[in-house]
C-alpha cells in the first residue's frame, strides 16, 4: 500500500503548475477572462509540455498516463482557476485512448502533432438528448446539447448519442465544430469559462469519425472520467480556497488582533480541513480503482461526486463567510474559487443524483 505519486507524475504536475503560475496568474487570468475568455497562448504552452497527450499510451506517442494523471492535472488547473480547456480535453482524450478504434485515435494524434487542436466532450450525462440514425454509410445526428464546457475553444466535439431504439446515449462520435447542421450559441459560465449550447440538425458523421456505437459501457466510462476530473477540480479549488482562508484569518485585523484567534472561526476552518482530507482520500481512491472492476469503479465514482459536491459547496460557502464582506467582491480571488466550486458541485450531476445511484447499486432489495 502506497499513496505517493510517482516521480514522473511529480515532474508533470510541477511543470504544469509552473506554467500556470508564470503565464496564468490570477491578475493575468482576469485580463484574459475580460478580453477573450481563454488564452490560446497558455494552451499552446501546455501543449508543448505534453498536457493534452498525457493520457495517451506511450506507444501512441502519449505520456502513458491514466486516470491519476487526469485527476492530478485537473486538480492543479482548478487551483490556478485556469479557464483553458485542460480538463475537457483530457476527458475527451481519455475516452479516445480507451474506446476509440486505433485508426481514429492515430489520426487524431497526428493532427495534434501539427496543431494545438482542441477536442471536448459535448455531454455530461447519459441522457438521450441527441439521436443517431443510420443513413447508408453515414450516421445522422439530431438533437441538442446544453452547457458544453469549452465548446467555443474547440475544433472538434465528442458527441454522445442514442442509437435507434435506445433509451440512453450509447454511441460516441467525433464532430468538427464547423460541420454542416451544427449550431453553437456561446456564452460565459458562472465560473468564467467559455461554454455553448449546441443544436444538431442533420449533422452527418462518417464511419471514420465513429468512436463507438451500441456501447453503453463506453459512454458510462466517459461519464466516470468526467466525474473523476470534475471532482479533482473541486479538490484543487477547495485546497486553494482553504489556503486563502487560513491566510486571511491570520492577517485580517479586528478588535486589536487577527480574527484567526477567535475559536468560533478556528473550529469552522478545521471542519473545512477535515472535509478537504476526506475529498483528497476519495479522489486518490477514485483514480486508483478506475481501471479495476467496473462495479467498484462506478460506485467509487458516484461516492466521489457525492463528497466532491458537498465539499465544494461547504468549503466555498465557508471560505466566503470567513472572508466577511471581502468574500463577495469581484476583486478577491476567493469569490472566483467560490464560483468555480459551485460549478464543480453541479457539473456531471449534483449530489443527490449520485447518492441515489450509489445507494441503489449497494442496497437495492428484491422488491425495491
- The window from 100-108, 127-135, 191-199, 280-288 that contacts another protein (CB under 8 A) reads 280-288
- Asked if 296 interacts with another protein (CB under 8 A), we say no
| Cα 139 to Cα 203: distance, rounded to the nearest angstrom | 8
> What would you measure as the largest C-alpha separation in the chain, in angstroms?
78
- Asked if 258 interacts with another protein (CB under 8 A), we say yes
Q: Which three cell numbers stand for residue 201?
A: 440538425
Question: Which CB contacts under 8 angstroms, 24+ apart, belong to 321-328?
Answer: 321/268, 322/245, 322/248, 322/249, 322/265, 322/268, 322/269, 323/244, 323/245, 323/248, 324/252, 326/248
DSSP 5: P
Residues 15-74 that bind another protein (CB under 8 A): 68
Among 288, 326, 346, 350, binds another protein (CB under 8 A): 288
Q: Which is nearer to another protein, 133 or 291 (CB)?
A: 291
Closest CA to 235 of 26, 357, 92, 72: 72
- Asked if 270 interacts with another protein (CB under 8 A), we say yes
CB of 312 to another protein, least distance (A): 15
Residue 141: CA count within 13 A, CB half-sphere: 35
- The window from 46-54, 114-122, 167-175, 263-271 that contacts another protein (CB under 8 A) reads 263-271
Among 13, 117, 246, 326, binds another protein (CB under 8 A): 246
- Asked if 291 interacts with another protein (CB under 8 A), we say no
Binding site for another protein (CB under 8 A): 1-6, 68, 246, 249-250, 258, 260-261, 263, 266-267, 269-271, 273-274, 277-278, 281-282, 284-285, 287-289, 303, 306-307, 352, 355-356, 358-360, 362-365, 367-368
Amino acid at each position: 500500500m502506497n499513496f505517493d505519486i510517482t516521480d514522473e507524475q511529480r515532474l508533470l504536475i510541477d511543470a504544469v503548475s509552473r506554467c500556470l503560475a508564470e503565464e496564468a496568474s490570477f491578475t493575468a487570468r482576469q485580463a484574459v477572462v475580460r478580453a477573450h475568455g481563454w488564452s490560446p497562448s497558455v494552451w499552446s504552452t501546455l501543449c508543448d509540455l505534453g498536457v493534452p497527450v498525457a493520457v495517451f499510451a506511450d506507444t501512441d506517442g502519449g505520456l502513458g498516463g491514466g486516470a491519476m494523471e487526469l485527476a492530478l492535472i485537473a486538480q492543479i488547473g482548478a487551483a490556478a482557476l485556469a479557464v483553458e480547456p485542460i480538463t475537457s480535453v483530457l476527458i475527451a482524450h481519455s475516452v479516445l485512448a480507451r474506446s476509440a478504434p486505433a485508426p481514429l485515435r492515430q489520426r487524431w494524434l497526428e493532427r495534434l502533432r501539427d496543431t494545438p487542436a482542441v477536442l471536448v466532450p459535448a455531454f455530461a450525462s447519459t441522457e438521450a438528448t441527441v439521436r443517431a440514425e443510420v443513413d447508408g454509410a453515414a450516421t445522422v445526428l439530431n438533437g441538442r446539447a446544453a452547457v458544453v464546457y469549452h465548446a467555443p475553444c474547440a475544433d472538434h466535439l465528442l458527441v454522445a448519442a442514442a442509437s435507434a431504439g435506445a433509451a440512453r446515449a450509447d454511441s460516441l462520435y467525433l464532430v468538427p465544430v464547423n460541420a454542416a447542421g451544427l449550431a453553437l450559441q456561446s456564452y460565459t459560465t458562472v465560473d468564467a469559462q467559455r461554454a455553448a449550447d449546441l443544436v444538431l440538425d442533420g449533422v452527418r458523421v462518417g464511419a471514420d469519425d465513429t468512436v463507438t456505437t451500441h456501447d453503453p459501457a463506453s459512454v458510462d466510462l466517459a461519464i466516470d472520467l468526467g466525474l473523476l476530473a470534475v471532482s479533482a477540480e473541486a479538490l484543487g479549488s477547495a485546497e486553494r480556497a482553504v489556503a486563502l482562508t487560513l491566510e486571511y484569518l491570520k492577517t485580517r485585523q479586528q478588535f486589536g488582533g487577527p480574527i484567526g484567534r477567535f475559536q468560533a472561526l478556528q473550529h469552522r476552518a478545521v471542519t473545512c480541513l477535515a472535509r478537504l482530507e476526506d475529498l483528497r482520500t476519495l479522489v486518490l481512491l477514485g483514480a486508483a480503482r478506475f481501471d479495476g472492476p467496473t462495479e467498484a469503479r462506478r460506485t467509487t465514482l458516484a461516492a466521489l461526486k457525492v463528497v466532491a459536491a458537498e465539499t465544494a459547496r461547504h468549503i466555498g460557502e465557508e471560505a466566503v463567510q470567513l472572508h466577511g464582506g471581502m468574500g463577495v467582491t469581484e476583486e478577491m480571488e476567493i469569490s472566483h474559487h467560490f464560483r468555480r466550486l459551485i460549478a464543480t458541485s453541479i457539473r456531471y450531476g449534483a449530489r443527490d443524483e449520485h447518492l441515489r445511484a450509489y445507494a441503489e447499486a449497494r442496497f437495492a432489495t428484491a422488491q425495491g
